[in-house]
């Protein structure tokens, strides 16, 4: 199975992000969108903690709860902050969800079929992963009018290995434009912006109740010996406007972000992350499978039918 061309590999190493048009057929895109809508229709608000999702500096406060931590090996639903007013949900639930995650690649046959492929394994190997493992996946809805801004970040902050190895696969399921919150990245920033912080589990206090994850939430901690880089201006970010079906590959250290979606059109995307199983996966990382602690991640290779 072929992976990337040498030009694509070179461009990825130079820029930190590349777009591969027409990676998914229109039928595959339609299938994932239909399945996403079905998941949104069928999930129940009953007993849901109404957890919201952000990747800003307040991320610990917003998502650092058990529902988030336990989503590592389940399919959970996270709300847009803008879906609430005075604590009340003001949008229908299918228009209120920010993302669905983080085990779609295992739990849902449709997403599994797109994720675990010989093609994706070949791409990961071409970009240096010797033992590609998929460890999280998500459907990102970027809802019309309330789709939240995603601040500048590096994926390795959230999925830290030693050495760094995380690789993002990001599939546009709808056309991504300047008006519906398309991805943006700073070309070459992976070469100049060292990862200086990590998103980790905050351990339980000695006197707090034991939880399934053994954590009371999440927090950021500094990476020893690394000086923070200066955040680039918004003008340094390059827009990734791309049609539905495109695959965007994202380097673990490249700075990327997206604007809020204030338009009337959604911007659905399916994303998953792979790491190299030969790199050390830290027990501090927020994501553990099983959630009690572990790195039992799925090999990124084509499924063999039994």
- Residues within the interface to Fe ion (CB under 5 A): 155
For residues 244 and 269, which CB has a smaller minimum distance to Fe ion in the complex? 269
For residues 79 and 272, which CB has a smaller minimum distance to Fe ion in the complex? 272
CB of 153 to Fe ion, least distance (A): 6
For residues 120 and 136, which CB has a smaller minimum distance to Fe ion in the complex? 136
Residue partners of 74: CB distance under 8 A and separation at least 6:
102, 103, 107
CB of 34 to Fe ion, least distance (A): 25
For residues 155 and 276, which CB has a smaller minimum distance to Fe ion in the complex? 155
Pair 129, 251: CB distance under 8 Å: no
Alpha helices in the chain, H assignment, sequence order: 6-15, 26-42, 59-63, 66-69, 104-107, 109-115, 118-126
For residues 158 and 216, which CB has a smaller minimum distance to Fe ion in the complex? 158
Cα within 13 Å of Cα(202), Cβ side: 15
For residues 108 and 155, which CB has a smaller minimum distance to Fe ion in the complex? 155
Residue partners of 181: CB distance under 8 A and separation at least 6:
142, 147, 149, 258, 259, 260, 261, 263, 267
Point out which residues pair with 185 in neighbouring strands.
238, 256
CB of 152 to Fe ion, least distance (A): 10
CB of 76 to Fe ion, least distance (A): 18
**Residue with the CB atom nearest Fe ion in the bound state:** 155
**CA 138/CA 271 separation, integer angstroms:** 5
| Cβ-based burial of 201 (10 A; exposed 0-12, middle 13-18, buried ≥19) | buried
Q: Which secondary-structure segment (H or E) carries 221?
A: strand 215-222
CB atoms within 10 A of CB 252: 23
Q: Nearest 5°: phi and psi at 108?
A: -115, 120
CB of 167 to Fe ion, least distance (A): 11
CB of 183 to Fe ion, least distance (A): 8
For residues 37 and 234, which CB has a smaller minimum distance to Fe ion in the complex? 234
Pair 266, 174: CB distance under 8 Å: yes
CB of 295 to Fe ion, least distance (A): 20
């Amino acid at each position: 199975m072929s992976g990337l061309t040498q030009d694509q590999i070179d461009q990825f190493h130079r820029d930190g992000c590349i777009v591969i048009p027409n990676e998914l057929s229109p039928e595959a895109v339609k299938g994932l969108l239909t399945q996403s809508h079905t998941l949104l229709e069928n999930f129940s608000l009953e007993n849901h903690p109404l957890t919201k999702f952000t990747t800003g500096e307040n991320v610990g406060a917003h998502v650092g709860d058990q529902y988030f931590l336990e989503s590592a090996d389940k399919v959970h639903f996270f709300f847009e902050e803008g879906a609430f007013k005075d604590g009340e949900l003001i949008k229908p639930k299918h228009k209120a969800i920010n993302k669905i995650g983080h085990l779609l690649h295992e739990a849902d046959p449709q997403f599994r079929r797109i994720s675990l492929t010989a093609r994706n394994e070949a791409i990961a190997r071409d970009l240096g992963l010797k033992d590609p493992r998929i460890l999280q996946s998500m459907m990102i809805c970027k809802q019309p009018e309330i789709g939240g801004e995603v601040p500048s970040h590096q994926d390795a902050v959230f999925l830290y290995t030693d050495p760094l190895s995380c690789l993002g696969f990001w599939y546009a399921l709808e056309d991504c434009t300047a008006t519906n919150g398309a991805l943006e990245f700073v070309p070459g920033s992976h070469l100049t912006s060292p990862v200086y912080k990590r998103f980790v589990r905050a351990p339980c206090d000695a006197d707090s109740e034991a939880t399934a994850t053994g954590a009371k939430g999440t927090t950021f901690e500094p990476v020893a010996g690394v000086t923070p880089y200066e955040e680039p201006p918004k003008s340094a970010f390059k827009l990734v406007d791309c049609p539905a079906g495109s695959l965007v590959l994202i380097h673990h250290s490249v700075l990327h972000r997206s604007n809020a979606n204030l338009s009337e059109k959604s911007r659905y995307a399916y994303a998953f992350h792979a790491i190299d199983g030969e790199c050390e996966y830290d027990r501090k990382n927020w994501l553990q499978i099983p959630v009690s602690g572990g790195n039992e991640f799925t090999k990124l290779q084509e499924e063999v039918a039994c």
